[in-house]
Amino acid sequence: MDSVSHLVRLARPQATLDKRCLLAGATVMDVPPQGEGKAHFHVLLDGACVLELPDRRIELQPGDVVLLPRGTPHRIRTTGAGHGQGIIETPGGAFSTIRSQAGESVIDLFCGHYSFGPGAGAMLFRSLPDPLRVSFAESGEANENVRMLSAIMRREAQNDGPGTTAILSALCNALLAMVLRTSNGRLAETALWTAAHDERIRAVIDEVFREPGADWPIARLARVAAMSRATFIRHFSRSTGMTVGAFLTHVRLMTAAELLADTEFTVASVAAEVGYRSESAFSRAFRMATGSTPARFRRNLEHAA
């Protein structure tokens, strides 16, 4: 299994499409914060708009996807003619549709959220840039895939019939996988540790995901990448925006969270399985990453079931 597929399996995100926004004129729509364990996403199909955060503005074009891993409140502002267009929200079977009270729509925007648990999912989303904008507007295989996916989402949204909720959720999860594998310097504005343009670095990432509990000194990773030690460290940081040590910790602890959730392994066994020689060292690292000891993490999952 490749690393991005492995990541999505570990994180277990659940996608929900909340609204389809068909806004006209100069319309403003405020998006409230998401709660714990949720992240906003937006997919712009047609038109242009601006996403406003407290510290920045992001201009969106058709084919743009924006992920807000912390669920930060923000504002969507259209740039059409007119002023102060009011909006009307119409509930549907799978999602609500928001339209301006007057005028012809100038944007077609899907708004939703990903839900994730306190373990691997939370670790993944916290490790991503916030906000994360990916543009699939230009030509290319990745962009064509997203355009086809967007077209299916639009047709299914127009149908809004039996199975629509499940289908849109699956499509939005597929969209997340496409975002996570997007290479830095091509479509994404920020380096993603989940993907790397350099095939040699991708080979290292895939190897670690296959054997997270193995001994992975820098020298061994450099051999996998067929680079010198210094060259590997430099290329890895540039390709992923993350140090080698931070990457290893993320993969090991995300794997540990899955083992704690899905197996009856003791904490000591989980620690050994993901490459920690000391149970106490593992417990400290896990608590720093999740805010909970491994034992409490497992108990909380059992109580929530």
User: What would the pLDDT profile of 109-138 be if each residue is shown by its tens digit?
Assistant: 999 999 999 999 999 999 998 999 988 766
pLDDT for 196: 81
The predicted model gives 44-51 an average pLDDT of 92
For residue 280 the two structure tokens come to: 């106490």
Instruction: Output the pLDDT for position 87.
Output: 83
Q: What are the b/e assignments for 279-288, b being 16+ CB within 10 Å?
A: beebbebbee
Ordered DSSP codes for 55-124: TEEEEE-TTEEEEETT---EEEEE--SSS---EEEE--SSSEEEEESSS-EEEEEEEEEEE--TTHHHHH
pLDDT at 27: 87
Residue 170 has pLDDT above 90, yes or no: yes
Start and end residues for every CATH 2.60.120 domain found in the chain: 3-180
The mean pLDDT value for 98-118 works out to 89
Q: What is the pLDDT of residue 154?
A: 84
* Rounded average pLDDT over 274-293: 95
Q: What is the largest CA-CA distance in the chain?
A: 65
Tokens representing residue 107 in the block: 């944007």
Calculate mean pLDDT across residues 223-243.
Answer: 94
Strand arrangement of the beta sheet that strand 28-31 belongs to? 28-31, 74-78, 49-53, 56-60
3-state helix, strand, coil in the chain (%, to 5): 45, 25, 35
Asked if 211 and 223 count as a contact pair (C-beta separation under 8 A), the reply is no
Residues 6+ apart with CB under 8 A from 282: 256, 267, 270, 271, 274, 276, 294
As annotated, the residues of the chain forming the CATH 1.10.10.60 domain(s) are 199-304
pLDDT higher than threshold 70 for residue 305? no
Q: What is the pLDDT of residue 211?
A: 95
Q: What is the mean pLDDT of residues 270-282?
A: 96
Confidence of residue 197 (pLDDT cuts 50, 70, 90): confident
CATH fold label, 3-180: Jelly Rolls (2.60.120)
pLDDT of residue 142: 56
Separation between Cα atoms, residue 13 and residue 125, nearest integer Å: 10
Say what percent of the chain tops pLDDT 70.
92
Which among 247, 249, 246, 198 has a CA at the least distance from the CA of 226? Answer: 198
Place of tokens 């507007």: 137
Return the CATH architecture of domain 199-304. Orthogonal Bundle (1.10)
- The reported pLDDT for the residue numbered 56 is 92
Mean pLDDT check: name the lowest of 133-147, 153-167, 247-261.
Answer: 133-147
pLDDT of residue 244 exceeding 90: yes
| Separation CA 111–CA 146 (nearest Å) | 16
Tokens standing for residue 203: 């080979």
